[in-house]
Amino acid sequence: MALGGVAHRCAMAAAVFFAMEAAFAQPADPYAAPRAALIAELREQSRADAGTATRIDPAVLRILARVPRHEYVPASERRDAYENRPLGIGYGQTISQPYIVALMTTLAQPRAGQAVLEIGTGSGYQAAVLAETGAKVHTIEIVAPLATQAAQRLRRYPNVTTRTADGYYGWKEHAPFDAIVVTAAASSIPPPLVEQLKPGGRMVIPVGSSFFTQTLLLVEKDERARVRTRQILPVRFVPLTGGP
């Protein structure tokens, strides 16, 4: 057989192989570019906030880069999933602005193996971000349909436990917690949550009237169970429902 014929057949075989490979290749991720743009925006903001309480941990940004926010919003909102703003998820609730999710996670400082309580599961996005740290996340949602939807989304995380209940009272069965993240605004800091915070633990919570801008607080309990609060920045959250 002529060498030219062998070369021709090899070329044809290679062409068929690459054509088949292309046919079975995964389609391009339509959210890759907007997700990258969001992370770049947050990274730039973090650089500007260097040395302040609002600087985002680079490790948290890496988590946001791999958690698919578009899977935690309704189909009608997916086009805007990587905009740096809150989005409606139904029942008068929202998925928080990515910057705020990143900041609250940074402030809570969750670590692998630690117990973390989240009040207000919503769509499940904040719980997913917390779970990516390796912490054991216990998350409570008072709106039953949202709790059901979030539980379905969060099944991929074996370190997340969900519950439909009034988050004002925490989750005593799993207390104490190394960190507590509250994703709805309380008129004041709920005493049950302070009680369930472990000495040395941190709670991040928006506090204030639902009709005005609230304040994001960092609540720290020292090893002698003394509590100190620090104001971080003005925020707007949906109100925390339930409680006395």
Q: Class assignment of domain 32-235?
A: alpha beta
For residue 156, what pLDDT is reported? 98
Give residue for tokens 């044809």.
Answer: 12
Query: What is the rounded CA–CA span in Å between residue 184 and residue 177?
Result: 18
Q: 170: left (phi > 0), else alpha (psi -120 to 50), else beta?
A: left
Catalytic, 187? Answer no
Q: Which residue has better confidence, 237 or 3?
A: 237
Give the model's confidence band at 50: pLDDT under 50 very low, under 70 low, under 90 confident, else very high. Answer: confident
Residue with tokens 């292309």: 22
Please tell me which residue in 46, 76, 96, 210 is annotated as part of the active site: 96
> So what's the pLDDT on residue 19?
47
DSSP-derived secondary structure for 207-222: ES-TTS-EEEEEEEE-
How many whole angstroms separate alpha carbon 23 and alpha carbon 152? 31
The residue extents of the domains of the chain are 32-235
Grade residue 33 by pLDDT with cuts at 50, 70 and 90.
Answer: very high
Residue 53 pLDDT > 70: yes
Cα distance between residue 138 and residue 174, in whole Å: 8
pLDDT tens, 167-221? 999 999 999 999 999 999 999 999 999 999 999 999 999 999 877 789 999 999 9
Report helix angle 32-48 to 58-66, nearest 10: 170
What pLDDT was estimated at residue 25? 53
Nearest to 186 by CA among 160, 161, 147, 215: 215
Given a contact cutoff of 8 angstroms between Cβ atoms, the answer to whether 32 and 81 are in contact is: no
Count of CB atoms situated within 10 Å of the CB of 36: 12
Concatenating the DSSP letter of every residue in 100-144 gives HHHHHHHHH---TT-EEEEE--TTSHHHHHHHTTT-EEEEEESSH
Long-range own/partner contacts, residues 228-237 (CB < 8 A, 24 or more apart): 229/189, 230/53, 232/53, 232/54, 232/103, 232/107, 232/204, 233/53, 233/54, 235/100, 235/185, 235/206, 237/96, 237/183, 237/184, 237/185, 237/206
What is the distance of C-alpha 232 from the center of its chain?
19
pTM: 0.88
Rounded Cα gap, residues 29 and 154, in angstroms: 21
* pLDDT at residue 2 is higher than 90: no
pLDDT for residue 23 is more than 60: no
Q: Quick check: 26 pLDDT over 80?
A: no
DSSP letter for 174, please. G
**CB under 8 Å to 226, separation ≥6 — which residues?**
none
